Amino acid sequence: MKKISIIAAVVLAAIMASCGNGTPKANLKTDVDTLSYAFGMSQTQGLKDYLAQREGVDTTFMNEFVKGLNDGANAGDDKKKSAYFAGLRIGQMISQQWVKGINYELFGEDSTQTISLNNLLAGFVAGTLGKGGLMSVDEATSTRENLMQSIKAAQTEKKYGEWKAECEEFMKKIAKKDGIKKLDKGVYYEVLTEGTGDIPADSSRVKVNYEGKLINDTIFDSSYQRGEPTTFRCNQVIAGWTEALTHMPVGSTWMVYIPQDQAYAEREAGKIKPFSCLIFKIELVGIEK
């Protein structure tokens, strides 16, 4: 019985060591020992939340985390191991941050679409090793920026295509309305009050009252509701506003109809959907000196 108990104890010890992934046991003989232990323990405050929220670690696998922690900490100055662990960290960052971030930027909540992890890694490795690349790093940077914009625009148009068509139809009807005038860049306006003051330059600082609406009559912004005019430079607003303001005499009040390409185009801005044409009542109060 005693022999069996000894064997059982050895097996149990081996199992416990395996579960702890070889984590050393504390042995606090000196102040330095105690300081070392206290430093390690104090650094764990909030660690589980950090691992779960920032690193995407499933905390049911903490034994695996400890194993990796031990391997990394005990690698010391071993350059081969250091390179491997650096690759492991960056690889996980690519998977957990880059791919997810790019997918969200391109496809939003549509989880059925994704960029190619295989091709991303092929490009990353070729650039890292400096050989076998299908394009230079500068070419890749330019290509990335251009394709991000075009793919995002295509996805946005696919999602908001019907709304874009409604807005385009609305602008066609406005163009045929009595009393409507057109400016060079496709902005339409209707004079409610004819002012007689100076006309701002695009760099002028102006004071205006305004109300902005969508074609479904949703008000998305209004200085009238805030109870006071707002002040800004004519060239610090959307293109349609700049176009209108630089043709308005001070004292004028216009209804201004701005096509989507002179507003926010494929961008979303609060209540303003992509491809929205915008309707503004604009009252040009004055030009600030």
pLDDT in tens, 42-77: 888 888 888 888 888 888 888 888 888 888 888 878
Q: Which of 84-88, 93-97, 121-125, 217-221 has the highest mean pLDDT?
A: 217-221
Residue 208 has pLDDT above 50, yes or no: yes
Chain segment 269-285, per-residue pLDDT in tens? 999 999 999 999 999 99
Whole-structure pTM value: 0.63
SS (H, E, C) the chain: CHHHHHHHHHHHHHHHHHHCCCCCCCCCCCHHHHHHHHHHHHCCCCHHHHHHHCCCCCHHHHHHHHHHHHHHHCCCCCHHHHHHHHHHHHHHHHHHHHHHHHHHHHHCCCCCCCCCHHHHHHHHHHHHHCCCCCCCHHHHHHHHHHHHHHHHHHHHHHHHHHHHHHHHHHHHHHHCCCCCEECCCCCEEEEEECCCCCCCCCCCEEEEEEEEECCCCCEEEEHHHHCCCEEEEHHHCCHHHHHHHCCCCCCCEEEEEECHHHCCCCCCECCECCCCCEEEEEEEEEEEC
Taken in order of first residue, the domains within the chain and their CATH numbers are 165-288 (3.10.50.40)
Chain segment 113-145, per-residue pLDDT in tens? 899 999 999 999 999 888 888 989 999 999 999
pLDDT at res. 22: 56
pLDDT at res. 212: 97
> Stretch 154-165: mean pLDDT, rounded?
91
- Average pLDDT of the chain is 87
Residue 230 has pLDDT above 70, yes or no: yes
